[in-house]
Amino acid sequence: MVNPARLLGFAFANADLLFEVDSKGTIVFATGAVSEFARQPQLVGEHGGSLFEPMAGAKFATYVKGLGHGGRAGPLKVHLANGGQAFLSLCHLPLNGENISCTLSKPGAKSSFGGDGKDIKTGLADGDAFLASAGKIAANTDALALVEIPGLPDAVAKLSHGAGESLLHRVGQMIAQTGVKAAGRLSPSTFGAVAGIGTRNKLGQAVRDALAEGGLGALQVEETLVSLKAKGLSADQRMLALRYVTDRLSRRRPGERLPADLDTAFEGMVRETEARALKLTETVAEGSFELAFQPIVKLANREISHYEALARFAQNQGTAETIQFAEALGIADAFDAAAAIKVISAIEREGVRGASIALNLSGHTLSTPSSFALIAGFLAKKRALAKRVLIEITETAEIADLEGANKAIQTLRELGYRVGLDDFGAGAASFQYLHAFTVDFVKIDGSLVKAIGKSARDDALLKSILKLCGELKIETIAEYIIDQRVFDRARDMGFDLGQGAFFGAPMSDLPPPPLATAAAARRQGIRESWG
Protein backbone atom coordinates (compact mmCIF):
# COMPACT_ATOMS: atom_id res chain seq x y z
CA MET A 1 0.00 0.00 0.00
CA VAL A 2 1.22 3.48 -0.84
CA ASN A 3 0.87 5.94 2.02
CA PRO A 4 0.45 9.48 0.70
CA ALA A 5 1.81 10.93 3.88
CA ARG A 6 5.09 9.10 3.46
CA LEU A 7 5.87 9.23 -0.26
CA LEU A 8 9.36 10.57 -0.73
CA GLY A 9 9.41 11.30 -4.43
CA PHE A 10 13.01 12.37 -4.80
CA ALA A 11 13.36 13.87 -8.20
CA PHE A 12 16.30 16.21 -8.19
CA ALA A 13 18.68 16.85 -11.02
CA ASN A 14 22.17 15.43 -10.69
CA ALA A 15 22.71 16.08 -6.98
CA ASP A 16 25.48 14.35 -5.06
CA LEU A 17 23.41 13.63 -1.97
CA LEU A 18 19.64 13.34 -1.68
CA PHE A 19 17.95 13.27 1.72
CA GLU A 20 14.56 13.92 3.23
CA VAL A 21 13.82 15.30 6.68
CA ASP A 22 10.60 15.23 8.68
CA SER A 23 9.02 18.28 10.28
CA LYS A 24 11.50 18.05 13.17
CA GLY A 25 14.51 18.06 10.85
CA THR A 26 15.28 14.36 11.40
CA ILE A 27 16.61 12.55 8.32
CA VAL A 28 14.19 9.79 7.24
CA PHE A 29 15.80 8.89 3.91
CA ALA A 30 19.23 9.43 2.35
CA THR A 31 21.00 8.23 -0.77
CA GLY A 32 24.08 9.24 -2.68
CA ALA A 33 27.62 10.16 -1.73
CA VAL A 34 27.14 10.20 2.06
CA SER A 35 30.86 9.96 2.79
CA GLU A 36 31.51 13.16 0.83
CA PHE A 37 29.27 15.25 3.06
CA ALA A 38 28.99 13.54 6.43
CA ARG A 39 31.26 12.23 9.15
CA GLN A 40 28.95 9.32 9.93
CA PRO A 41 28.19 6.49 7.47
CA GLN A 42 24.47 6.35 8.28
CA LEU A 43 22.31 9.49 8.16
CA VAL A 44 18.81 8.15 8.80
CA GLY A 45 17.79 9.08 12.32
CA GLU A 46 20.28 11.95 12.56
CA HIS A 47 19.18 15.58 12.59
CA GLY A 48 19.79 17.25 9.23
CA GLY A 49 21.54 20.14 10.95
CA SER A 50 24.33 17.76 12.03
CA LEU A 51 25.61 17.83 8.43
CA PHE A 52 26.56 21.50 8.78
CA GLU A 53 28.72 23.71 10.96
CA PRO A 54 26.69 25.32 13.79
CA MET A 55 25.69 28.53 12.03
CA ALA A 56 24.62 26.71 8.86
CA GLY A 57 22.88 24.07 10.98
CA ALA A 58 20.83 26.78 12.68
CA LYS A 59 19.87 28.24 9.30
CA PHE A 60 18.90 24.79 8.05
CA ALA A 61 16.60 24.30 11.05
CA THR A 62 15.01 27.69 10.32
CA TYR A 63 14.34 26.74 6.70
CA VAL A 64 12.83 23.39 7.70
CA LYS A 65 10.52 25.09 10.15
CA GLY A 66 9.48 27.93 7.87
CA LEU A 67 9.24 26.29 4.44
CA GLY A 68 5.55 26.10 3.57
CA HIS A 69 3.86 23.60 1.24
CA GLY A 70 5.09 24.20 -2.30
CA GLY A 71 7.97 26.34 -1.06
CA ARG A 72 11.59 25.92 -2.06
CA ALA A 73 14.89 27.43 -1.07
CA GLY A 74 18.34 27.43 -2.61
CA PRO A 75 20.75 26.67 -3.89
CA LEU A 76 22.43 27.98 -0.72
CA LYS A 77 26.17 27.79 -0.21
CA VAL A 78 26.77 26.11 3.15
CA HIS A 79 29.74 25.06 5.29
CA LEU A 80 29.73 21.39 6.27
CA ALA A 81 30.57 19.88 9.63
CA ASN A 82 33.37 17.87 7.95
CA GLY A 83 35.05 21.09 6.84
CA GLY A 84 33.84 21.12 3.24
CA GLN A 85 31.39 23.31 1.37
CA ALA A 86 28.32 22.48 -0.68
CA PHE A 87 25.18 23.87 -2.27
CA LEU A 88 21.98 23.06 -0.40
CA SER A 89 18.49 23.07 -1.92
CA LEU A 90 15.23 22.34 -0.13
CA CYS A 91 11.73 21.81 -1.46
CA HIS A 92 8.42 21.16 0.35
CA LEU A 93 6.48 19.44 -2.38
CA PRO A 94 2.67 19.15 -2.16
CA LEU A 95 1.28 15.96 -0.68
CA ASN A 96 4.60 15.01 0.85
CA GLY A 97 3.13 15.66 4.25
CA GLU A 98 5.47 17.57 6.52
CA ASN A 99 8.59 16.03 5.01
CA ILE A 100 11.02 18.23 3.10
CA SER A 101 13.23 17.02 0.24
CA CYS A 102 16.83 18.25 0.29
CA THR A 103 19.91 17.97 -1.93
CA LEU A 104 23.59 18.67 -1.43
CA SER A 105 25.90 19.23 -4.37
CA LYS A 106 29.59 19.96 -4.54
CA PRO A 107 30.56 23.38 -5.88
CA GLY A 108 31.94 23.15 -9.37
CA ALA A 109 31.67 19.36 -9.54
CA LYS A 110 28.67 17.40 -10.61
CA SER A 111 26.19 19.96 -9.39
CA SER A 112 23.65 20.88 -11.97
CA PHE A 113 21.72 23.40 -9.90
CA GLY A 114 21.12 26.87 -11.04
CA GLY A 115 19.63 29.53 -8.85
CA ASP A 116 16.25 29.59 -10.54
CA GLY A 117 14.99 26.01 -10.42
CA LYS A 118 16.80 24.95 -13.57
CA ASP A 119 19.21 22.19 -14.41
CA ILE A 120 22.16 24.13 -15.78
CA LYS A 121 23.42 21.39 -18.07
CA THR A 122 20.16 20.78 -19.94
CA GLY A 123 18.31 24.08 -19.47
CA LEU A 124 15.21 22.17 -18.28
CA ALA A 125 13.61 22.54 -14.87
CA ASP A 126 15.34 20.64 -12.11
CA GLY A 127 13.37 17.82 -10.58
CA ASP A 128 11.79 19.61 -7.64
CA ALA A 129 10.70 22.57 -9.76
CA PHE A 130 9.21 20.23 -12.34
CA LEU A 131 7.16 18.31 -9.79
CA ALA A 132 6.03 21.48 -8.06
CA SER A 133 4.47 22.71 -11.30
CA ALA A 134 3.47 19.52 -13.10
CA GLY A 135 0.58 18.57 -10.85
CA LYS A 136 -0.86 22.07 -11.07
CA ILE A 137 -0.84 22.39 -14.84
CA ALA A 138 -1.82 18.87 -15.84
CA ALA A 139 -5.18 18.94 -17.61
CA ASN A 140 -7.56 16.07 -18.20
CA THR A 141 -6.04 15.31 -21.56
CA ASP A 142 -2.44 15.44 -20.35
CA ALA A 143 -0.02 12.65 -19.65
CA LEU A 144 3.20 12.20 -17.70
CA ALA A 145 5.95 11.18 -20.12
CA LEU A 146 9.08 9.54 -18.73
CA VAL A 147 12.16 9.11 -20.89
CA GLU A 148 15.08 7.16 -19.49
CA ILE A 149 18.50 6.72 -21.05
CA PRO A 150 20.21 4.12 -18.81
CA GLY A 151 23.67 4.53 -20.30
CA LEU A 152 23.69 8.33 -20.55
CA PRO A 153 25.85 9.22 -17.48
CA ASP A 154 28.61 6.77 -18.42
CA ALA A 155 28.53 7.78 -22.08
CA VAL A 156 28.76 11.50 -21.26
CA ALA A 157 31.65 10.85 -18.87
CA LYS A 158 33.66 9.36 -21.74
CA LEU A 159 33.22 12.48 -23.89
CA SER A 160 35.32 15.59 -23.61
CA HIS A 161 33.97 18.19 -21.22
CA GLY A 162 32.78 20.43 -24.03
CA ALA A 163 31.19 17.62 -26.01
CA GLY A 164 29.38 16.27 -22.93
CA GLU A 165 28.03 19.69 -22.02
CA SER A 166 26.89 20.29 -25.58
CA LEU A 167 25.10 16.94 -25.78
CA LEU A 168 23.15 17.44 -22.55
CA HIS A 169 22.18 20.94 -23.61
CA ARG A 170 20.97 19.61 -26.97
CA VAL A 171 18.89 16.88 -25.30
CA GLY A 172 17.17 19.49 -23.15
CA GLN A 173 16.66 21.77 -26.13
CA MET A 174 15.09 19.05 -28.24
CA ILE A 175 12.70 18.03 -25.42
CA ALA A 176 11.61 21.65 -24.92
CA GLN A 177 10.91 22.02 -28.64
CA THR A 178 8.37 19.18 -28.71
CA GLY A 179 5.63 21.45 -27.36
CA VAL A 180 5.48 20.01 -23.83
CA LYS A 181 3.81 22.06 -21.09
CA ALA A 182 6.53 21.29 -18.55
CA ALA A 183 9.77 19.35 -18.67
CA GLY A 184 12.47 18.52 -16.17
CA ARG A 185 15.50 16.39 -15.47
CA LEU A 186 14.61 13.92 -12.73
CA SER A 187 17.96 12.18 -12.48
CA PRO A 188 21.20 12.02 -14.47
CA SER A 189 19.52 9.57 -16.85
CA THR A 190 15.79 10.32 -16.56
CA PHE A 191 13.66 13.13 -17.97
CA GLY A 192 10.01 13.91 -17.36
CA ALA A 193 7.44 16.00 -19.17
CA VAL A 194 3.75 16.88 -19.01
CA ALA A 195 2.31 16.86 -22.48
CA GLY A 196 -0.62 15.81 -24.64
CA ILE A 197 -1.38 12.12 -25.10
CA GLY A 198 -0.10 12.25 -28.65
CA THR A 199 3.40 13.30 -27.55
CA ARG A 200 4.74 9.79 -26.95
CA ASN A 201 6.56 9.13 -30.16
CA LYS A 202 7.49 12.77 -30.68
CA LEU A 203 9.26 13.11 -27.32
CA GLY A 204 11.18 9.86 -27.59
CA GLN A 205 12.24 10.61 -31.13
CA ALA A 206 13.47 14.07 -30.14
CA VAL A 207 15.77 12.50 -27.55
CA ARG A 208 17.02 9.91 -30.05
CA ASP A 209 17.78 12.64 -32.58
CA ALA A 210 19.75 14.63 -30.01
CA LEU A 211 21.78 11.57 -29.06
CA ALA A 212 22.46 10.76 -32.70
CA GLU A 213 23.74 14.30 -33.31
CA GLY A 214 26.18 13.79 -30.44
CA GLY A 215 27.41 10.45 -31.73
CA LEU A 216 25.49 8.41 -29.15
CA GLY A 217 22.70 7.14 -31.37
CA ALA A 218 23.28 3.58 -30.17
CA LEU A 219 22.15 4.39 -26.63
CA GLN A 220 18.93 2.72 -25.51
CA VAL A 221 15.99 5.08 -24.90
CA GLU A 222 13.12 3.81 -22.74
CA GLU A 223 9.84 5.67 -22.84
CA THR A 224 6.70 5.44 -20.71
CA LEU A 225 3.53 7.50 -21.01
CA VAL A 226 0.97 7.66 -18.20
CA SER A 227 -2.44 9.18 -18.77
CA LEU A 228 -3.51 11.83 -16.25
CA LYS A 229 -7.02 12.16 -17.62
CA ALA A 230 -9.99 12.41 -15.26
CA LYS A 231 -10.55 8.92 -13.85
CA GLY A 232 -11.68 10.61 -10.67
CA LEU A 233 -8.28 12.14 -10.00
CA SER A 234 -8.20 15.57 -8.43
CA ALA A 235 -5.28 17.94 -8.97
CA ASP A 236 -3.80 16.76 -5.67
CA GLN A 237 -4.20 13.16 -6.72
CA ARG A 238 -2.39 13.87 -9.95
CA MET A 239 0.49 15.19 -7.89
CA LEU A 240 0.31 12.06 -5.79
CA ALA A 241 0.60 10.01 -8.94
CA LEU A 242 3.62 12.02 -10.03
CA ARG A 243 5.23 11.50 -6.67
CA TYR A 244 4.57 7.77 -6.87
CA VAL A 245 6.36 7.53 -10.18
CA THR A 246 9.37 9.57 -9.08
CA ASP A 247 9.61 7.57 -5.89
CA ARG A 248 9.72 4.36 -7.92
CA LEU A 249 12.34 5.92 -10.15
CA SER A 250 14.59 6.86 -7.25
CA ARG A 251 14.32 3.43 -5.59
CA ARG A 252 14.62 1.06 -8.54
CA ARG A 253 17.43 -1.42 -8.61
CA PRO A 254 19.71 -1.32 -11.65
CA GLY A 255 17.91 -2.87 -14.57
CA GLU A 256 14.50 -2.81 -12.85
CA ARG A 257 11.76 -1.39 -15.04
CA LEU A 258 8.60 0.45 -14.06
CA PRO A 259 5.27 -1.40 -14.15
CA ALA A 260 4.04 -1.74 -17.71
CA ASP A 261 0.57 -0.47 -16.87
CA LEU A 262 1.13 2.62 -14.76
CA ASP A 263 -2.41 3.85 -15.33
CA THR A 264 -3.75 0.84 -13.48
CA ALA A 265 -1.09 1.23 -10.78
CA PHE A 266 -2.15 4.81 -10.18
CA GLU A 267 -5.82 3.95 -10.03
CA GLY A 268 -5.13 1.14 -7.58
CA MET A 269 -3.07 3.43 -5.38
CA VAL A 270 -5.84 6.03 -5.24
CA ARG A 271 -8.49 3.41 -4.49
CA GLU A 272 -6.40 1.89 -1.68
CA THR A 273 -5.76 5.29 -0.15
CA GLU A 274 -9.42 6.26 -0.24
CA ALA A 275 -10.49 2.90 1.18
CA ARG A 276 -8.01 3.19 4.01
CA ALA A 277 -9.11 6.73 4.78
CA LEU A 278 -12.75 5.63 4.91
CA LYS A 279 -11.93 2.67 7.15
CA LEU A 280 -9.92 4.79 9.57
CA THR A 281 -12.65 7.43 9.71
CA GLU A 282 -15.19 4.73 10.57
CA THR A 283 -12.87 3.23 13.18
CA VAL A 284 -12.48 6.56 14.93
CA ALA A 285 -16.16 7.47 14.69
CA GLU A 286 -17.23 4.12 16.12
CA GLY A 287 -14.41 3.91 18.65
CA SER A 288 -13.67 0.44 17.31
CA PHE A 289 -10.05 0.39 18.40
CA GLU A 290 -8.68 -1.01 21.63
CA LEU A 291 -6.50 0.32 24.42
CA ALA A 292 -3.57 -1.48 25.98
CA PHE A 293 -2.04 -0.37 29.28
CA GLN A 294 1.68 -0.36 30.01
CA PRO A 295 2.98 0.26 33.54
CA ILE A 296 5.21 3.19 34.42
CA VAL A 297 7.13 2.71 37.68
CA LYS A 298 9.17 4.64 40.22
CA LEU A 299 12.79 3.67 39.67
CA ALA A 300 13.67 4.14 43.34
CA ASN A 301 11.45 1.29 44.57
CA ARG A 302 9.80 -0.13 41.42
CA GLU A 303 6.30 0.77 42.64
CA ILE A 304 3.78 1.33 39.85
CA SER A 305 3.02 5.00 39.39
CA HIS A 306 0.46 4.82 36.60
CA TYR A 307 -0.22 3.24 33.21
CA GLU A 308 0.02 4.65 29.71
CA ALA A 309 -2.97 3.98 27.45
CA LEU A 310 -1.76 2.84 24.02
CA ALA A 311 -4.08 2.56 21.03
CA ARG A 312 -4.28 -0.77 19.25
CA PHE A 313 -5.82 -1.04 15.81
CA ALA A 314 -6.83 -3.95 13.62
CA GLN A 315 -4.26 -6.42 12.37
CA ASN A 316 -1.63 -5.01 10.00
CA GLN A 317 -2.29 -1.43 11.15
CA GLY A 318 0.78 -0.08 12.92
CA THR A 319 -0.16 2.34 15.68
CA ALA A 320 2.36 5.13 15.06
CA GLU A 321 1.95 5.05 11.29
CA THR A 322 -1.85 4.94 11.59
CA ILE A 323 -1.89 8.00 13.85
CA GLN A 324 0.36 9.86 11.41
CA PHE A 325 -2.04 8.91 8.65
CA ALA A 326 -4.91 10.25 10.78
CA GLU A 327 -3.07 13.54 11.11
CA ALA A 328 -2.57 13.68 7.36
CA LEU A 329 -6.32 13.14 6.91
CA GLY A 330 -7.19 15.82 9.45
CA ILE A 331 -8.95 13.46 11.88
CA ALA A 332 -6.32 13.35 14.62
CA ASP A 333 -8.56 15.48 16.82
CA ALA A 334 -11.43 13.02 16.45
CA PHE A 335 -9.11 10.16 17.35
CA ASP A 336 -7.82 12.02 20.43
CA ALA A 337 -11.39 12.64 21.58
CA ALA A 338 -12.33 8.98 21.07
CA ALA A 339 -9.24 7.85 23.02
CA ALA A 340 -10.03 10.29 25.85
CA ILE A 341 -13.53 8.86 26.14
CA LYS A 342 -12.11 5.34 26.36
CA VAL A 343 -9.56 6.30 29.03
CA ILE A 344 -12.13 8.11 31.17
CA SER A 345 -14.50 5.15 30.83
CA ALA A 346 -11.75 2.78 31.98
CA ILE A 347 -11.07 4.93 35.05
CA GLU A 348 -14.76 5.11 35.91
CA ARG A 349 -15.02 1.33 35.67
CA GLU A 350 -12.08 0.96 38.05
CA GLY A 351 -13.74 2.99 40.78
CA VAL A 352 -12.15 5.30 43.32
CA ARG A 353 -9.19 3.06 44.08
CA GLY A 354 -8.29 2.31 40.48
CA ALA A 355 -5.03 3.13 38.73
CA SER A 356 -4.03 6.42 37.15
CA ILE A 357 -3.76 6.48 33.35
CA ALA A 358 -1.77 8.62 30.91
CA LEU A 359 -3.64 9.77 27.80
CA ASN A 360 -1.84 10.80 24.61
CA LEU A 361 -2.84 14.09 22.97
CA SER A 362 -1.38 15.06 19.60
CA GLY A 363 0.34 18.37 19.06
CA HIS A 364 -2.11 18.92 16.19
CA THR A 365 -5.11 18.78 18.54
CA LEU A 366 -3.39 20.93 21.13
CA SER A 367 -2.61 23.69 18.65
CA THR A 368 -5.96 23.68 16.80
CA PRO A 369 -8.39 25.88 18.79
CA SER A 370 -11.59 24.16 17.66
CA SER A 371 -10.15 20.69 18.27
CA PHE A 372 -8.77 21.61 21.66
CA ALA A 373 -12.03 23.23 22.71
CA LEU A 374 -13.81 19.93 22.02
CA ILE A 375 -11.52 17.80 24.16
CA ALA A 376 -11.04 20.44 26.87
CA GLY A 377 -14.81 20.72 27.22
CA PHE A 378 -15.07 16.98 27.72
CA LEU A 379 -12.22 16.88 30.25
CA ALA A 380 -13.73 19.83 32.15
CA LYS A 381 -16.85 17.75 32.74
CA LYS A 382 -14.63 14.98 34.13
CA ARG A 383 -12.37 17.15 36.27
CA ALA A 384 -13.34 15.13 39.37
CA LEU A 385 -11.12 12.41 37.87
CA ALA A 386 -8.28 14.78 36.95
CA LYS A 387 -5.86 13.41 39.55
CA ARG A 388 -6.19 10.03 37.89
CA VAL A 389 -5.49 11.27 34.36
CA LEU A 390 -2.17 12.42 32.93
CA ILE A 391 -1.83 13.92 29.48
CA GLU A 392 1.20 13.28 27.27
CA ILE A 393 1.69 15.71 24.40
CA THR A 394 3.11 13.81 21.44
CA GLU A 395 5.43 15.32 18.84
CA THR A 396 4.01 13.52 15.81
CA ALA A 397 2.91 16.90 14.45
CA GLU A 398 5.03 19.99 15.04
CA ILE A 399 3.45 22.76 17.07
CA ALA A 400 3.77 26.12 15.32
CA ASP A 401 1.87 28.42 17.71
CA LEU A 402 3.88 27.89 20.89
CA GLU A 403 2.12 30.61 22.85
CA GLY A 404 -1.32 29.27 21.97
CA ALA A 405 -0.27 25.71 22.78
CA ASN A 406 1.06 26.76 26.19
CA LYS A 407 -2.25 28.45 26.97
CA ALA A 408 -3.99 25.18 26.12
CA ILE A 409 -1.61 23.25 28.38
CA GLN A 410 -2.22 25.64 31.26
CA THR A 411 -5.98 25.27 30.75
CA LEU A 412 -5.61 21.53 31.30
CA ARG A 413 -3.36 22.03 34.32
CA GLU A 414 -5.84 24.49 35.85
CA LEU A 415 -8.48 21.77 35.53
CA GLY A 416 -6.25 19.56 37.68
CA TYR A 417 -4.63 17.40 34.96
CA ARG A 418 -0.90 16.81 34.93
CA VAL A 419 0.60 17.48 31.50
CA GLY A 420 3.93 16.40 30.07
CA LEU A 421 5.92 16.09 26.85
CA ASP A 422 6.30 12.70 25.20
CA ASP A 423 9.37 11.54 23.23
CA PHE A 424 11.49 14.41 24.56
CA GLY A 425 14.83 14.66 22.79
CA ALA A 426 13.69 12.87 19.64
CA GLY A 427 12.98 16.04 17.70
CA ALA A 428 14.75 19.33 17.18
CA ALA A 429 11.85 21.20 18.75
CA SER A 430 12.05 19.47 22.15
CA PHE A 431 14.09 22.13 23.93
CA GLN A 432 12.04 24.83 22.25
CA TYR A 433 8.93 23.22 23.73
CA LEU A 434 10.52 22.97 27.16
CA HIS A 435 11.30 26.67 27.02
CA ALA A 436 7.82 27.63 25.79
CA PHE A 437 5.63 25.28 27.86
CA THR A 438 5.15 24.93 31.61
CA VAL A 439 4.72 21.18 32.15
CA ASP A 440 4.79 18.66 34.98
CA PHE A 441 6.86 15.89 33.43
CA VAL A 442 8.82 14.88 30.36
CA LYS A 443 9.26 11.41 28.92
CA ILE A 444 12.76 11.02 27.48
CA ASP A 445 12.77 9.30 24.10
CA GLY A 446 13.79 5.66 24.09
CA SER A 447 16.52 6.20 21.48
CA LEU A 448 18.46 8.17 24.10
CA VAL A 449 17.61 5.91 27.03
CA LYS A 450 18.62 2.60 25.46
CA ALA A 451 22.02 4.08 24.56
CA ILE A 452 22.86 4.97 28.18
CA GLY A 453 26.44 4.06 28.97
CA LYS A 454 27.46 3.55 25.34
CA SER A 455 28.55 7.11 24.56
CA ALA A 456 30.10 9.67 26.90
CA ARG A 457 28.70 12.43 24.69
CA ASP A 458 25.13 11.07 24.81
CA ASP A 459 25.37 10.46 28.56
CA ALA A 460 26.49 14.05 29.07
CA LEU A 461 23.48 15.23 27.08
CA LEU A 462 21.10 13.11 29.18
CA LYS A 463 22.64 14.35 32.42
CA SER A 464 22.18 17.93 31.24
CA ILE A 465 18.51 17.26 30.46
CA LEU A 466 17.96 15.68 33.88
CA LYS A 467 19.71 18.57 35.64
CA LEU A 468 17.60 21.10 33.76
CA CYS A 469 14.38 19.25 34.54
CA GLY A 470 15.38 19.00 38.18
CA GLU A 471 15.92 22.74 38.39
CA LEU A 472 12.53 23.31 36.76
CA LYS A 473 10.91 20.75 39.08
CA ILE A 474 9.85 18.64 36.13
CA GLU A 475 9.56 14.89 36.70
CA THR A 476 11.42 12.65 34.25
CA ILE A 477 10.37 9.33 32.72
CA ALA A 478 12.84 7.04 30.97
CA GLU A 479 11.34 5.24 27.96
CA TYR A 480 12.52 1.89 26.60
CA ILE A 481 13.92 0.29 29.71
CA ILE A 482 14.37 -3.18 28.30
CA ASP A 483 16.70 -4.94 30.72
CA GLN A 484 18.51 -4.76 34.05
CA ARG A 485 21.46 -2.84 32.59
CA VAL A 486 19.33 0.02 31.26
CA PHE A 487 17.27 0.01 34.46
CA ASP A 488 20.34 0.32 36.70
CA ARG A 489 21.91 3.05 34.61
CA ALA A 490 18.69 5.06 34.29
CA ARG A 491 18.09 4.86 38.04
CA ASP A 492 21.68 5.79 38.85
CA MET A 493 21.63 8.67 36.39
CA GLY A 494 18.68 10.19 38.24
CA PHE A 495 15.51 9.42 36.28
CA ASP A 496 12.38 9.49 38.44
CA LEU A 497 10.22 7.00 36.56
CA GLY A 498 10.67 4.33 33.91
CA GLN A 499 8.71 2.48 31.25
CA GLY A 500 9.55 -0.49 29.09
CA ALA A 501 9.46 -4.23 28.59
CA PHE A 502 11.57 -4.74 31.72
CA PHE A 503 8.55 -3.74 33.82
CA GLY A 504 5.92 -5.40 31.69
CA ALA A 505 4.36 -5.41 28.22
CA PRO A 506 1.14 -3.51 27.45
CA MET A 507 -1.90 -5.32 28.87
CA SER A 508 -5.38 -5.48 27.43
CA ASP A 509 -6.88 -4.93 30.89
CA LEU A 510 -5.87 -2.93 33.93
CA PRO A 511 -4.98 -4.95 37.03
CA PRO A 512 -7.69 -5.24 39.70
CA PRO A 513 -8.02 -2.34 42.18
CA PRO A 514 -5.69 -2.56 45.18
CA LEU A 515 -6.76 -3.69 48.62
CA ALA A 516 -8.34 -1.30 51.05
CA THR A 517 -5.28 -0.48 53.13
CA ALA A 518 -2.45 1.66 51.95
CA ALA A 519 0.08 -0.87 53.27
CA ALA A 520 -1.53 -3.64 51.22
CA ALA A 521 -1.56 -1.40 48.20
CA ARG A 522 2.14 -0.76 48.56
CA ARG A 523 2.80 -4.48 48.86
CA GLN A 524 1.07 -4.98 45.51
CA GLY A 525 3.15 -2.22 43.96
CA ILE A 526 0.16 -0.02 43.08
CA ARG A 527 -0.28 3.68 43.66
CA GLU A 528 -3.57 5.41 44.21
CA SER A 529 -2.60 8.37 42.05
CA TRP A 530 0.35 10.17 40.55
CA GLY A 531 1.05 12.63 43.34
pLDDT digits (tens, 9 = 90+) for 438-479: 999 999 988 889 889 888 888 888 998 899 999 999 999 999
Q: How far is CA 358 from the centre of its chain?
A: 24
**Domain-wise residue ranges, the chain:** 17-109, 118-286, 287-523
- Decide which of 1.20.1440.230, 1.20.1250.20, 3.30.70.260, 3.20.20.450 is the CATH code for 287-523: 3.20.20.450
Query: Which 3 state secondary structure label does DSSP give 469?
Result: helix
Strand, coil or helix: 309:
strand
pLDDT of residue 297: 97
pLDDT of residue 100: 84
> What distance in Å separates the CA atoms of residue 113 and residue 115, rounded to the nearest whole number?
7
Residues of the chain with pLDDT under 70: 1-16, 32, 68-72, 74-75, 93-97, 107-117, 128, 131-141, 197-201, 226-275, 277, 315-318, 324-325, 327-330, 395-398, 427-429, 513-531
- Rg for the chain (alpha carbons), in Å? 27
Q: Which CATH class is domain 17-109?
A: alpha beta
Letter string b/e over residues 60-99, b meaning 16 or more CB atoms within 10 A of that residue's CB = bbebbbeeeeeebbbbeebebbeeeebbbbbbbbbbbbbb
Preceding omega of 153 cis (within 30 degrees of 0): no
The CB-side HSE value for 79 (13 A sphere, CA atoms) comes to 6
Q: Say what the pLDDT of residue 332 is.
A: 78
**Helix-, strand-, coil-residue percentages of the chain, each rounded to 5:** 40, 20, 35
53 CB neighbour count, 10 Å cutoff: 15
Residues 6+ apart with CB under 8 A from 466: 476, 493, 494, 495
Q: What spatial distance separates the first Cα and last Cα of the chain, rounded to whole Å?
A: 45
**pTM of the predicted model, to two decimals?**
0.54
Distance CA 484, CA 518 (A): 28
Sequence-distant (6+) residues with CB within 8 A of 464 are: none
- The whole-angstrom separation of Cα 309 and Cα 346 is 10
Q: Are strands 304-312 and 290-298 parallel, antiparallel or unpaired?
A: antiparallel
Does the domain formed by 118-286 have CATH 3.30.70.270? yes
Strands 418-424 and 441-444: parallel
User: Tens digits of per-residue pLDDT, 305-314?
Assistant: 999 999 988 7
Give the separation between CA 463 and CA 75, rounded to whole angstroms. 38
Q: Are 437 and 363 in contact (CB under 8 A)?
A: no
